[in-house]
């Protein structure tokens, strides 16, 4: 069975961001995709310090704040949804620190796992936060699942989000589209394999 991890980056375990993520998860479940929502927004998660010890250890050197635990689950998952409240037109700092270290330290292949981001805001800043979060997937060669509008819900609390009919519909469509994309990628992988990958990574500097 396919599985998708959903990361709740909000400090509130069952607030607006959780409401959006659980709506996506419900649709994935209906399409036969197993889901797990993981709450990390209440943790004391430090940022990456660029020590590169993960290249030697195969995991982040900081081992007590869920990054390595989630990395193990991410390796086996077919998709990842990350959810954040909007702070100053961007994703919140805890989630950003978490994703910086997760994507940098998890050296296994992430390409063609399906990614998606959802955000919640009282009013503005949602598209800027989405742009920020989608860059993690693009860097990892992860196809980004789309909905019929930008993946955002609005409200001051979960009760208000439940009244955001357009936002909730966007989450439902996202869940169904993500399930379809996971199935399509799996079928093509089994039929023809993944696209040929250039084994040598080219890395250039702008200053010579």
Report whether pLDDT(174) > 90.
yes
What's the token pair of residue 30? 């209906």
Report whether pLDDT(135) > 90.
yes
Report whether pLDDT(203) > 90.
no
Q: Give the pLDDT band of residue 148 (cuts 50, 70, 90).
A: very high
Distance CA 179, CA 182 (A): 5
Q: Give the pLDDT band of residue 199 (cuts 50, 70, 90).
A: confident
Residues of the chain above pLDDT 90, percent: 93
CB crowding 18-28: b at 16 or more within 10 Å, else e? bbbbbbbbebb
pLDDT of residue 206: 83
Q: What is the mean pLDDT of residues 158-187?
A: 98
Collapsing DSSP states into helix, strand and coil, what is residue 201?
coil
- The dihedral through the CA atoms of 87, 114, 102, 4 has a sign that is positive
pLDDT of residue 168: 98
Question: What is the pTM for the complete model shown?
Answer: 0.95
| CA 109 to each of CA 52, 103, 189, 206: distance values in angstroms, whole numbers, following the listed order | 18, 10, 14, 27
Q: Quick one: DSSP state of residue 36? A: E
Distance, CA of 201 to chain centre: 24
pLDDT of residue 23: 98
pLDDT of residue 205: 87
Q: Which residue segments constitute the domains of the chain, with CATH numbers given?
A: 3-192 (3.40.50.360)
- The answer to whether 2 and 31 are in contact (CB under 8 A) is no
Sequence length of the chain is: 208
**Choice between 116 and 199, residue whose per-residue pLDDT is larger:** 116
Taking only the tens place, the pLDDT of each residue in 107-120 is 899 999 999 999 99
Q: Give the pLDDT band of residue 85 (cuts 50, 70, 90).
A: very high
Collapsing DSSP states into helix, strand and coil, what is residue 55?
helix
CB crowding 167-203: b at 16 or more within 10 Å, else e? bbebbbbbbbbbbebbeebeeeeeeeeeeeeeeeeee
DSSP line for 98-157? HHHHHHHH--S--TT-EEEEEEEESSS-HHHHHHHHHHHHHHTTPPBP--SS-SEEE-SS
Exposure of 165 by Cβ count < 10 A (0-12 exposed, 13-18 middle, 19+ buried)? exposed
């Amino acid at each position: 069975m396919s599985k998708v991890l959903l990361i709740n980056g909000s400090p509130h375990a069952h607030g607006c961001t959780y409401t959006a993520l659980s709506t996506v998860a419900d649709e994935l479940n209906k399409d036969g995709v197993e889901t797990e929502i993981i709450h990390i927004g209440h943790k004391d998660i430090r940022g990456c310090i660029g020590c590169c010890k993960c290249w030697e250890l195969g995991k982040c050197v900081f081992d007590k704040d869920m990054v390595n635990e989630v990395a193990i689950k991410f390796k086996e998952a077919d998709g990842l949804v990350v959810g954040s409240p909007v702070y100053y037109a961007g994703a919140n700092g805890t989630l950003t620190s978490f994703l910086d270290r997760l994507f940098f330290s998890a050296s296994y292949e992430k390409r063609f796992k399906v990614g998606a981001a959802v955000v919640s805001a009282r009013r503005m800043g949602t598209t800027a936060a989405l742009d920020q979060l989608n860059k993690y997937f693009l860097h990892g060669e992860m196809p980004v699942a789309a909905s019929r509008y930008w993946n955002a819900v609005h409200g001051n609390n979960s009760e208000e989000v439940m009244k955001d009919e357009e936002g909730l519909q966007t989450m439902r469509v996202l869940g169904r589209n993500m399930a379809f994309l996971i199935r399509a990628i799996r079928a093509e992988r089994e039929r023809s394999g993944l696209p040929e990958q250039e084994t040598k990574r080219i890395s250039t500097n702008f200053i010579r």
